[in-house]
Amino acid sequence: MKLTRRLTLAAFASVLALGTAAPAFSADLIAIITPAHDNPFFKAEAVGAEAKAKELGYDTLVMSHDDDANKQSEVIDTAIGRGAKAIILDNAGADATVAAIKKAKDAGIPSFLIDREINVTGIAVAQIVSNNYQGAQLGAQEFVKLMGEKGNYAELVGREADTNAGIRSQGYHDVIDDYPDLKLVAKQSANWSQTEAYAKMETILQANPDIKGVISGNDTMAMGAIAALQAAGRKDVIVVGFDGSNDVRDSIKAGGIKATVMQPAYAQAQIAVQQADAYIKNKTVPKDEKQLMDCVLINADNADKLETFALKN
């Protein structure tokens, strides 16, 4: 689906603080639901949303669905049972999430989606997501330059059920495939996991010892890939990620991973809470349900300005 509205990241930058969980049966409660917080991107979303909610005077209920659609349904039931005034959600699947959001809507609870869109409109009040295609093209352009427009490379792809995994991969290939001397020798899903990426990279490297580069669908997998490459003594292999995590920032500064693409995780989450607040208080709905935020290339030139999915001035 075409995403139509762009939001300006700079206008929403702020300092965040982690709050505490809501008491039972809070009169003004916002539920914040994301995948597991062992991924720093999803943790940043939760922290950002909670900070903005508390700033606006709400109690919060922070939960994780661990990318499990059944668990997502359960935690949304919890939010409904606790009488949440709104749900901020980074969902567990574009198709699997529709019924859960409709259930919340039928209970009178509006949903504001971040990071991942769903395949229908008119159920969530807002879908605020990164411009994954634009970001992937930025990353691919940098990858092509780093590779010198030639050489064998591998791609690590995210969870197949995640819409973003496919969008990023398409964005990569719409750039890289224009360079006939860049040869894709392996493409495997590591499910956004650092541990899986490490194991997949070991296997790829054994089968393709002449590999020159790796382009990854997220930073967590990029960290797994660089660890496997370094363990094999292959510090020459170029690795590019996607997300803008502090871990990859530090790797870039140390000469490991060469580049990543920053998604505005904090800003997305905070904008969602601001829009939820406007809806709760005044029934104000955004001009467009689907709203798009551009990504930013991070490399050795600006890595020192990156802090928790935002660029410092």
pLDDT for position 313: 80
Tokens of 306: 């990156």
Tokens of 300: 């050795």
Residue 302, marked binder: no
Question: What's the rounded Cα separation, in Å, for the pair 146 and 259?
Answer: 9
| Cβ proximity of 4 and 290 under 8 Å | yes
What is the percentage of the chain residues whose pLDDT exceeds 70?
91
Question: What's the rounded Cα separation, in Å, for the pair 46 and 59?
Answer: 13
Residue 164, marked binder: yes
The DSSP result for 109-125, as a single string, is: --EEEESS--S-SSSSS
Residue 263, marked binder: yes
Residue 206, marked binder: no
Residue 162, marked binder: yes
Q: How far is CA 236 from the centre of its chain?
A: 28
Residue 66, marked binder: no
Q: How confident is the model at residue 312 (pLDDT cuts 50, 70, 90)?
A: confident
Task: Strands of the chain (E only): list them.
Answer: 5-7, 29-34, 59-64, 86-89, 111-114, 126-130, 151-157, 182-189, 213-216, 238-240, 260-262, 290-293, 296-298
Kindly report whether the global pTM for this prediction surpasses the value 0.75. Answer: yes
- Residues 210-246 have pLDDT tens digits of 999 999 999 999 999 999 999 999 999 999 999 999 9
Residue 39, marked binder: yes
Residue 15 reports pLDDT greater than 50? no
- Residues 50-60 have pLDDT tens digits of 999 999 999 99
Question: What's the rounded Cα separation, in Å, for the pair 204 and 233?
Answer: 15
- Residue identified by tokens 């505490």 is 20
The domains of the chain, with CATH numbers, are 5-129+264-292 (3.40.50.2300), 132-262 (3.40.50.2300)
